Amino acid sequence: MRIFELIKTVTLWVLVLTSIYLTYLIWTYQPEYRILESSENFIESAQIGEERPLSSFLIPSKVVIHEDEEKLWLSPMEKAYETLMEAIREIEIDQLISTYTRPPSPENKYQGIELVFSQKLDSGWLDRLIDMNDYELPLETVDRIILYINENSVSSDVIIRFISLEEERMYQANTNLSKEQLKSLYNYHEENMLTTVKAVDLGQVRESAFRNVRYFPNELFSMVGYTYLSESSIDPESFKQVLFGDPEFVKHYFQGNDEIYIDGSRFMSVEENKNILKYNHPTNDRPLTTPEGHVVTDSIDFINSHAGWTGEYQLDSWNHLYMYDQNDHVQFRMSVKGVPVLASNINREQYFTVSLTRTGNQITEYIRPLNQLVERENEPIPLNFTLFSYDRIMELIDESDTIALEAIEDIRIGFYMNKSPSVITFEPAWFVKDRGSWKRIARVSEGGIIGLE
């Protein structure tokens, strides 16, 4: 028995001492980290481009100055719209109320500024544009914002009005602006940045007090185009480093003229001679969740996560379904000096748009160009163009056998991108939207016959 007790005692002591020793090893353990090699072997996301806030995309497609009967379009060149929006962000509002007086109409006359947005704004974004003073706007979206002088007001010189054409509702509020301050927002612009325009009803398919008023130059006018002598291409390896969970496990191979990157759950292809990148990250089989954020803000955050903005882009279109089993989409469009690129000689939008798809809370598709414009000293080269008035364009369309007036969804002025291996030219032109696509109105003879490109 004594021998058995002795063995138990010795065994217990061995266990206790072993435990103390292991505890000591755990407390004093320091892993031997591998010394990293030169950082030149690693690609930082900041090297792709830059990050941009939501507010930088809340830019109107058109700014119209109202001087009673006269209406003037302010050219977006040289970031005039951005400068205006920076000043508007300083405005404070008070006494937000619903109103039904003077809905949008070509006949309206007032002194002020009208901001026209080609794509509606979510009302939750307005605090990025204006100091809303804790007011919540009871609208889902906003298409127009108007600042005008109210001669009859005793509490505020300048009124701001928020308009939703889709909901056919308006709200207005007092502002802290004086008449002189409002006029100073646009009076400093040079005359060559202002073009006389006419108000036109566009896309009015039913009787409504809220009319889709658009503004077009009613005289010959000049616009500047640009020629870039060079462009740079973004290395797809930069995106491999930031779009895949573990780049070391990504397989890379060629399929015809395309490059393929895949890790089992994510897929990335580089197409069109390294001009276009397509990224897919399908959702897995687990139940999808209802989206928490807005598709636009989620998409901007996704691109910001790898500093992916390479050049000027505008918010072009979006749909936000608030459904867990549907896809949301958003598209950003390249712009040059504030003017959007609407078409090109290469019949693929992916050369000048960035598109994203979201399923649930996950970005599942990302398509973008890999080329970016290079601005060196004395570039780009400016070119002067003269464009027809809106009335003349409509006359030519009416005379044309190639354009059906009833098929036109929208009409706009933008840039046509002419891309060659060594030169990229952006020419201003009139465009029509036909079956969801923008097409340039082009003259094909001096007799006035025109067609679409």
User: Residue 138 corresponds to which tokens in the numbers above?
Assistant: 């009871």
pTM score of the predicted model: 0.85
The three-state secondary structure class of 169 is: strand
* pLDDT value of residue 421: 82
pLDDT tens, residue order, the chain (453 aa): 566 666 667 676 666 667 666 665 555 544 443 333 333 333 444 468 999 999 999 999 999 999 988 999 998 877 788 889 999 999 999 999 999 887 777 788 889 999 999 888 999 999 999 999 999 999 999 999 999 998 877 778 999 999 998 899 999 999 999 999 998 888 776 766 889 999 988 765 556 778 888 999 989 989 999 999 878 889 999 999 999 988 889 999 999 889 999 998 899 999 998 999 999 998 765 555 677 889 999 999 999 999 999 999 999 999 876 655 578 999 999 999 899 999 999 989 999 999 999 988 889 999 999 998 877 666 788 889 999 999 999 888 888 777 788 888 889 999 999 998 888 999 999 999 888 889 898 754 444 545 566
How far, in Å, CA of 251 to CA of 270, rounded?
14
Same domain for 387 and 286, yes or no, is no
The answer to whether residue 2 is domain-embedded is no
Same domain for 251 and 203, yes or no, is no
Same domain for 273 and 214, yes or no, is no
Output the 3-class SS for 101-123: CCCCCCCCCEEEEEEEEEEEEEH
The answer to whether residue 86 is domain-embedded is yes
* pLDDT value of residue 402: 76
* pLDDT value of residue 291: 76
Tell me which residue range forms the domain holding 136.
Answer: 54-219
* pLDDT value of residue 73: 93
Widest pairwise Cα distance in the chain: 122
The answer to whether residue 331 is domain-embedded is yes
Number of domains in the chain: 3
Question: What number of CA atoms fall less than 13 Å from residue 369's CA on the CB side?
Answer: 22
The domain boundary residue, chosen from 171, 197, 219: 219
The domain boundary residue, chosen from 190, 219, 248: 219
Same domain for 128 and 75, yes or no, is yes
Same domain for 320 and 178, yes or no, is no
* pLDDT value of residue 36: 36
The answer to whether residue 40 is domain-embedded is no
* pLDDT value of residue 267: 95
The answer to whether residue 34 is domain-embedded is no
* pLDDT value of residue 151: 80
Sequence-distant (6+) residues with CB within 8 A of 154 are: none
Same domain for 112 and 72, yes or no, is yes
**Radius of gyration over every alpha carbon of the chain, rounded to an integer in angstroms:** 29
